[in-house]
Amino acid sequence: METLEWYLEYEIQHNRPGLLGDISSLLGMLSINIKTINGVENQRRGMLLSAEKELQIIRLHSILRTMEHVHITKSREPKLRDRLAVRHGRYIHRDVDDKKTFRFVRSEIGLLVDFMAELFKQEGSKVIGIRGMPRVGKTESIVAASVSANKRWLFVSSTLLKQTARNQLLQDEYNEDNLFIIDGIVSTSRASERHWELVREVMRLPVAKVIEHPDIFVRDTEFTLDHFDYIIELRNHDDEKIIYEPEFRQI
């Protein structure tokens, strides 16, 4: 029988001894299984649950609402952010105005790699942009995520391999299990028209593409930020500004 998977998050109003045990016992009595559990920021605890019927979840809600020590903050079918929050104990930060933009700092690279790996595992075309200053860990994170997702990464353009700007792909590289990486600065400032024919071809492929420096990429091409499904920002610290000075473009 197919089971129902659910994400439940509650805020602890008063962390008395035995609270988690009481909730675990309640779940057991309702025949609801705990798949994963972890603390999730600011006195909150998140759980991935499995149950045979939605009625079990409804009953759980009814009982939890009578408990003065907890307050339910989220209850829904699990999203990717929920799964990662339980796995890492923190939520990915999303831009308030642009919901497809997600922000990370260098100390969260493990979370970033896990996030991108989950995106790479999804089928179909996906365009991901990643912003960040030089040497903050953009390319390394992309490569690590592709390994985690069991994808083969291919540089269409890159500064990592002596200013790579390819003009064609080999026949076996046209594979939906490949991940294509494009450096927006290299492609727009040094590449030939043959390279741009390849870039346009790659953008049409039903595969995952990651574009470093997406703002430069869209500024100097026919593409726009609307072509991107996700934008990732990686900083050394929360207050760092991502700027594109002339010397940055020469990197």
Measured CA to CA in angstroms, residue 25 lies from 32, 34, 45, 54 at distances of 10, 11, 16, 19
Residues of the chain with CATH 3.40.50.300: 92-235
What was the pLDDT predicted at 247? 45
pLDDT one-digit tens code per residue, 147-182: 999 999 999 998 876 667 899 999 889 988 999 999
Residues of the chain with CATH 3.30.70.260: 4-86
Angle subtended by helix axes 80-88 and 109-121, to nearest 10: 140
Q: Which residues contact 95 (CB under 8 A, 6 or more apart)?
A: 101, 102, 103
What was the pLDDT predicted at 99? 86
Q: How far apart are CA 41 and CA 81, in angstroms?
A: 13
Q: How far apart are CA 202 and CA 160, in angstroms?
A: 20
Instruction: Measure CA of the first residue to CA of the last residue in the chain; give whole Å.
Output: 56
Give a three-class secondary structure readout of the chain.
Answer: CCCEEEEEEEEECCCCCCHHHHHHHHHHHCCCEEEEEEECCCCEEEEEEEECCHHHHHHHHHHHCCCCCEEEEEEECCCHHHHHHHHHCCCCEECCCCCCEEEEEHHHHHHHHHHHHHHHHCCCCEEEEEECCCCCCHHHHHHHHHHHCCCEEEECEECCCCCEECCCCCHHHCCCCEEEEEEHHHHHHCCCHHHHHHHHHHHHCCCEEEEECHHHHHHCCCCCHHHCCEEEEEECCCCCCCCCCHHHHCC
Specify the residue for token string 């939906």.
176
What was the pLDDT predicted at 251? 45
Low-confidence ranges of the chain (pLDDT < 50): 247, 249-251
CB 9, CB 74: distance < 8 Å: yes
Rg over alpha carbons for the chain, rounded to the nearest Å, is 22
Q: How far apart are CA 87 and CA 89, in angstroms?
A: 6
Q: How far apart are CA 7 and CA 79, in angstroms?
A: 8
What was the pLDDT predicted at 165? 87
Residue type, 69: H
Domain 4-86 has CATH 3.30.70.260: yes
Domain 92-235 has CATH 3.40.50.450: no
What predicted TM-score, i.e. pTM, was given to this entire model?
0.86
